Structure 1
């Protein structure tokens, strides 16, 4: 990522971030960011269309592409979001932000198909699922995936938050989206009506980040199992999947009451052994210690950045 003398920002995005834009239409959103940054050497903008298709379908696409390239942005054509992590230019690159605005899979029965049709909704969900799966592979350890999407019915039936959770992502934040925040951005329909805009209505930018120790095989979160000590039956400290973690490094606010109690007991024992360098008492004085006879559990789910 290029280093700028002064950081420049627009809304959620910074010139210090490595940014990938997926599924661009006429590249007007990419141009909006590039103009805000001044230079766009930290950006990669992609489109499913070929360069020839852009010329035919969007009146401003080629002028936007030329401006992006002049500002240092890498522009890639014919990039499918379902396979983008394997693109020759992208396969070894990791991004701080991956953006997909108003994803749409096209229409099963022509441009006037109903968005209320259950099969049409499944069609859209398949697009989102494939995108999130590949985007997750392309994130830095503290990276985020941003999907801007309508929140009214029937678009709410796409259930993108639930789809993200199935793929090892969690919702960091949902923020209302406004076109006024992005000067020059013109949202496009695509799907046979490419150069037309559409009313965005009520919509949000959903920000997703990686979950800890997600397993695509089990579609769940298993922290392994320790064999002895105060964390017996739980993962992490001695377990095969979390050998690099120490209980003091995890976010206690995300633990269950039983785990918080166990963590405090364990850390207090460390403090007694090492009074000068031990951990502070993390137990709240207003919260009595909870006794739990059965400290074993089959699995524990923790939410945090990888």
Structure 2
């Protein structure tokens, strides 16, 4: 195995390089120590001369006159690919303010991108408070800090770890001031910030999917609000995604109490065949439905080799058996015109509850057996910390004779509560366990329940109850009239977030392989993010409403999700203004942008905000002020 390559920049008296070289195995690690000064400039410093002698004796390479903001110029193409780059206590000079030092950091990180290995790390040690992250104690105001995370983002880096910088841990290291002056920096409370490469933040092209309905193939574009969310296969073997892990644990435990029958999940494209009688926990259809246009696809039915086109499992019904729903926004004439040219409208299912009637009306339904259906669902919703446009749902359906209803219902709820309570407390401290109990809250009809739990994992002071799912006991069946049915629906994504303490649902859908490395088979431990303290960017927007068109707040949030590529984490209503003369109404909102798994720069956010202004004007018929 090739030795790890370490690059040290901004060395003052070379004491850090000398100490590090003597603590590492020269056969496993090679070090290149550099400084901005010329060699002659260090000749008057006896400590620097001694350290340079020690480095040369150990065969460590030393380079002078290396500008850390122009590293590509200092190394030939074949001599790059460093595994670690160290920059301890960077500083522009005695009179430099925070703006100049931010500029130094920004250029340094952009330079590192040219010479760092793909899985490499950049280590930056800063004095107490300089970084501007919550790890600093005390934390400086953002405008008065070096904003190290935001500066790193300009080079494509995210903060993956931070820990105290302890000089004593590097024997012989003596921090110098800028440009090797005798006056040293105050290193008490200093922090070492460790940065890694982020996945590129790209404007993703919509993927094309093909689906078979009966004997006909159709294709459709991935909706912008669901970019990267379709056909991910998290619940399928051999996936090791935590959503599958929890679903399998849940099913295994239920199997100890009930005979199980696992059902194969149909395609997410939902031909509407009547409204489900199960209304609890259903979203407002069709306003929350995500509509798609299906186009006839006469290409070869074999899976295409083009990676931009993916096949979705065949829907187990034909178009003649069920009619596709109409897009409520289009008239009959327009829709009929589209169908002539091989286009029909459909929507993605908003809940697995739409499949319940088909399951309980099956002639081979076995009373007393627990039927389980798991799969992804999709819906429009307002932006918040605990609502998702895409998540995984598990459905439990239990049928039994009416005279046995109370016994079966209590047995199912009791077992489910024990299983959920156990899962929710595995990664918590003993002192926290008593506050995490799952509750079944009666609904106004006196028959059905909501499954709720406190949100202490995300906010210890929160009194909010999160809804994990629903229990419906009022389902009926015209075929099995002598039977009762209990239907349990659970949000697996929210359950995973609560169990591992993942505060951002977007993390579950990341394409970064580092996410899955947090999960060890057979263990449930608190999740540790690899992207710490991502900066927030706030932008306000105000606009005049069109009295005739009205204002759809759900669509307002949907447009924000699409344009920002899911980087808007909060939309706050600020004010409503009515012009005293024209009586025209204006609304003002604040959008908060932040990522959870990759870089996001101020310039990118400004571009998104500008595009958002254009899109709401075009799609919502408002006039930005």
Same fold (TM over 0.5): yes
Aligned residue in 1 for 2:43: 55
8 Å contact kept, 1:213–1:223: no
- Tell me which structure has the larger Cα radius of gyration: 2
2:33 matched to 1:45? yes
1:50/1:165 Cα in 2 relative to 1: closer, same or farther (>3 Å)?
Answer: same
Aligned residue in 1 for 2:103: 126
Q: Give the TM-score normalised by the residue count of structure 1.
A: 0.68
8 Å contact kept, 2:94–2:178: no
2:235 matched to 1:149? no
- Measure the CA separation in 1 of the matches of 2:40 and 2:114: 30
1:178/1:232 Cα in 2 relative to 1: closer, same or farther (>3 Å)?
Answer: farther
CA drift of 1:153 comes to 6.1
Aligned residue in 1 for 2:114: 137
Aligned residue in 1 for 2:186: 199
- Measure the CA separation in 2 of the matches of 1:232 and 1:262: 11
CA drift of 1:37 comes to 1.8
Aligned residue in 2 for 1:291: 377
8 Å contact kept, 2:163–2:193: yes
Q: Give the TM-score normalised by the residue count of structure 2.
A: 0.35
Report 1:28-177 matches (<5 A): 28-37=15-24, 39=26, 42-56=30-44, 58-89=45-76, 92-108=79-95, 120-152=97-129, 156=140, 157-177=145-165
1:290/1:88 Cα in 2 relative to 1: closer, same or farther (>3 Å)?
Answer: closer
Aligned residue in 2 for 1:225: 206
> Which moves more between the two structures, 60-69 or 151-160?
151-160
- Measure the CA separation in 1 of the matches of 2:52 and 2:76: 18
Higher strand share: 2
8 Å contact kept, 2:131–2:147: no
8 Å contact kept, 1:21–1:99: yes
Unaligned 5+ runs, structure 1:
3-15, 109-118, 215-220, 236-255, 272-277
Higher RCO by CA contacts (8 Å cutoff, separation 6 or greater): 1
Unaligned 5+ runs, structure 2:
133-139, 212-219, 252-373, 381-388, 390-560, 567-594, 600-625
Q: When the two structures are aligned, how many residues end up with a matched partner?
A: 245
Secondary structure, aligned partner of 1:140: strand
1:262/1:120 Cα in 2 relative to 1: closer, same or farther (>3 Å)?
Answer: same
1:29/1:23 Cα in 2 relative to 1: closer, same or farther (>3 Å)?
Answer: same
Secondary structure, aligned partner of 2:377: coil
Aligned residue in 2 for 1:5: none
2:303 matched to 1:303? no
Q: CA RMSD in A?
A: 3.5
- Measure the CA separation in 2 of the matches of 1:212 and 1:302: 11
1:99/1:107 Cα in 2 relative to 1: closer, same or farther (>3 Å)?
Answer: same
- Measure the CA separation in 2 of the matches of 1:25 and 1:234: 54
CA drift of 1:227 comes to 2.4
